[in-house]
Amino acid sequence: MAEKKKTNIILFSGDYDKTMAAYIIANGAAAYDHDVTIFHTFWGLNALRKDEKLQPKKSFMEKMFGKMMPRGANNMPLSKMQFLGMGPKMIKGVMKKHNAMPLPDLIDMAKEQEITLLACTMTMDLLGLKKEELLDDIEYGGVAAYIAEGEDGAINLFI
């Protein structure tokens, strides 16, 4: 059998809608039998945060960052029409009506399809995110991990 094609997505954004696009593409590519990796960096790391309140040891600055950033995919804001939190509520209602999969389900589906979810360790340090705050069963890496996958990727996206 021919070697599998690769799809690599860099998820930089911490917006619900953009993250949804990234995960829909990732799941679609996995259905095309691609090896898929999503590299979460900067605000995109928030998609991997656990919903629960955890209190790992942190500096003051790290605590502030932790408080200001959304805890998990379901709490992320929209890139447009946020309306102080009304926007996400509205879009989730519309999604339900149209049977679109909510973002947390898309992330579960990604895991089920063996998509590699990778967290950038350098930006984890910057934002003060600890491994125990992020989902289990993810991988950690840096730019070299992306380049290694990206140099023979059929699809490379930055979202």
Partner 1 sequence: MNITKTLDAKGLACPMPIVKTKKAIEGIESGQILEVVATDAGAKSDLTAWCKSSGHELVNINDDQGVFTFYIKKG
Does 28 help bind partner 1 (rule: CB under 8 A)?
yes
Site for partner 1 in 32-51 (CB under 8 A): 32-33
H-state helical runs in the chain: 16-31, 60-68, 86-97, 103-112, 121-127, 143-150
Stretch that binds partner 1, among 31-39, 43-51, 54-62, 72-80 (CB under 8 A): 31-39
Q: Which of 42, 58, 100, 104 binds partner 1 (CB under 8 A)?
A: 100
If one asks whether residue 157 binds partner 1 (CB under 8 A), the answer comes out as no
- CB of residue 130 vs partner 1: minimum separation in angstroms? 32
Closest C-alpha to 130, from 39, 57, 65, 71: 57
Closer to partner 1 by CB, 59 or 99: give it: 99
User: Please, which of residues 102-131 interact with partner 1 by CB under 8 A?
Assistant: 109, 113
Q: Does 93 bind partner 1 (CB under 8 A)?
A: no
CA of 145: how far to CAs of 113, 120, 151, in Å?
20, 9, 10
Q: How far apart are the first and last CA of the chain?
A: 31
- How far apart (Å, rounded) are the C-alpha atoms in residues 126 and 119? 13
CB of 115 to partner 1, least distance (A): 11
Site for partner 1 in 2-21 (CB under 8 A): none
Amino acid at the residue 34 = H
Strands 139-141 and 155-158: unpaired
- CA–CA dist 69, 46 (Å, integer): 7
Which CB, 100 or 138, lies closer to partner 1?
Answer: 100
Supply the minimum distance, in Å, between the C-beta of residue 27 and partner 1: 5
What residue ranges bind partner 1 (CB under 8 A)? Answer: 24, 27-28, 30-33, 98-101, 109, 113
